[in-house]
Chains A and B, each alone.
Chain A
């Protein structure tokens, strides 16, 4: 009994160990701050603003958890949880009773270029959906409403990107998995139930998204299109689960011939292993067709940006709801899962044909050796993901003045927004090792924070792509900031701005009363809120 339990828990333990190895210094005291991953002390319970609800309900979930647990512990638990959930879920999909193949799938799904790059881009909320994806696929294949709801909870907490990677795989699996009674009505019912559950769990971000006046700039297609991160071009990068748009979100050394080459070979071996699962004695696993369809669709979406940007821009221009397709590489999650299950199939050894008995070497030394190598291969193929990708992820603490400013603003009962300057979305603080992060002010205050959500993406030739702001208030504030200096304070106050948070070294803004002056931050209070 104890052995069985240990075997059942082994993939989760492997995921935990891989998480500890990958996060390394990020597990120390402090916050892990990188790109979209911005956790703050005493996060406020706030409702979504007027821009697209990207951090809904993930920020709210963090704020609620932080009410009972230390914020830093919440962040580290979420990050480690991603590895545990991903590894255990991938293992659960491998159609083998043996531990080795299941561990091979677990190791691959918790340690691959896709997960590493998205983590280095700080997209922890997306990774909740990626980690829960195998469980969601399994639930869709087995049937059962409660099982599917439970499996989709991590994605629901993550928000729109996490649900986006779950929807195709869940619907495709529900539509193709074998049913006890293969009646068309039963099939329609199962797909309908899955769609209702997906829709219901999406309401926290779907409703604010539909009610907001947010727009999506088609320029984002060029900015966020998949790119070649190695010598095998965009398609070669995507097949190896790389190709993220941001050159700074790649694992160090990922662009070398060696790394790109072995990842591509591993992808080919894994895909072949997945195809061979169909010919197994047990027949294709129930999720086989659905996962294959979702993976193919994800790969096709990832190719849209680099190979067919025109139609994608037209779609986004026609309806902003197509905006999530612009970062196409994001949709490779199902393909990563397919490769993980395929690698598990390879580690399981030769596939006996239908009607054949168990493989003669099953559980023997040969199988154990193959499985051991298969478990180690994902780490050996991408070794520089270890130790926080060699320092790209680390834990730091906010300078005390950030907390003091937060306390002043949050203690003020008077209404009015806070405007964060300088007028740009991202910062690279020395105290954070120069790692780029979204302005922390956007998440620190229990009041509306106005920040420039226009995105700037640098190009290799030194140029920049500007992706227009989504929040309509940003345009009004920008107009006020461009006005005459003597009119600025009045114009901002008329827009409902009560506080202006500026960088101490930035003398571009004058007016208002200084209520805090630190080495890095200056807080100004304006006259009359609307």
Chain B
């Protein structure tokens, strides 16, 4: 029973954290660039 409760508690905490993370990243992104040349990426 303790394992079940612990698993459910972990799942619930992660679900709350995941919801917050999703809400944060779902915000609108800035206007994308349109450039003929671009970096491979940034550090």
Contact = CB atoms under 8 A, between A and B. Distances in A.
A428 interface: yes
Contact of A426 (B24, B31, B37): B37
Interface in A147-173: none
Contacts of B29: 391
B20 A258 contact: yes
B41 A249 contact: yes
Given A373-B8, A374-B7, A430-B32, 13 more contacts: A253-B24, A262-B17, A366-B7, A370-B3, A383-B19, A425-B40, A427-B38, A436-B39, A457-B39, A457-B40, A457-B43, A464-B39, A506-B36
Interface string B1-29: 10110011011001101111110111001
A428 B37 CA distance: 7
Interface stretch (A11-19, A78-86, A240-248, A488-496): A240-248
Nearest to A383: B18
A366 B39 contact: no
B3 to A, nearest CB: 5
B1 A366 contact: yes
Nearest to A460: B43
B38 to A, nearest CB: 4
Interface in A415-443: 422, 424-430, 433-436
A384 B22 contact: yes
B1 to A, nearest CB: 7
A366 B17 contact: no
B38 A377 contact: no
A505 interface: yes
B13 to A, nearest CB: 9
A427 B33 CA distance: 10
Contact of A428 (B1, B3, B38): B38
21 contacts: A35-B40, A245-B43, A248-B41, A248-B42, A249-B41, A252-B25, A253-B25, A256-B21, A258-B21, A349-B3, A373-B8, A376-B11, A377-B10, A381-B18, A383-B21, A390-B25, A429-B34, A435-B32, A436-B38, A457-B43, A459-B42
Contacts, number: 127
List the 7 closest A-B pairs by CB distance, nearest first.
A434-B32, A246-B41, A430-B34, A458-B42, A380-B14, A252-B25, A383-B18
Contacts of A424: 36-38
Interface in A345-382: 349, 361, 365-366, 369-370, 372-374, 376-377, 379-381
Contacts of A227: 43
A50 interface: no
Interface residues of A, number: 57
A428 B33 contact: yes
Nearest to B32: A434
A456 interface: yes
A154 to B, nearest CB: 26
A373 B7 contact: yes
A481 interface: no
A195 interface: no
Contacts of B14: 262, 376-377, 380-381
Interface string A501-528: 0010110000000000000000000000
Name the residue in A227, A246, A247, A428 with the highest tally of chain B Cβ atoms < 10 Å from its Cβ.
A428
B36 A434 contact: no
Name the residue in B17, B33, B37, B40 with the highest tally of chain A Cβ atoms < 10 Å from its Cβ.
B40
A458 B24 CA distance: 26
A505 B36 contact: yes
A171 to B, nearest CB: 31
A326 B33 CA distance: 29
Contact of B38 (A349, A365, A426): A426
Contacts of B34: 428-430, 434
A265 B21 CA distance: 17
A38 B1 CA distance: 51
B43 to A, nearest CB: 5
A258 B15 CA distance: 12
Contacts of A74: none
A434 B21 contact: no
A253 B36 CA distance: 28
Nearest to B31: A434
Contact of B39 (A381, A426, A505): A426
Interface in A59-108: none
A473 B27 CA distance: 45
Contacts of A379: 18
A256 B36 CA distance: 32
Contact of A370 (B7, B22, B24): B7
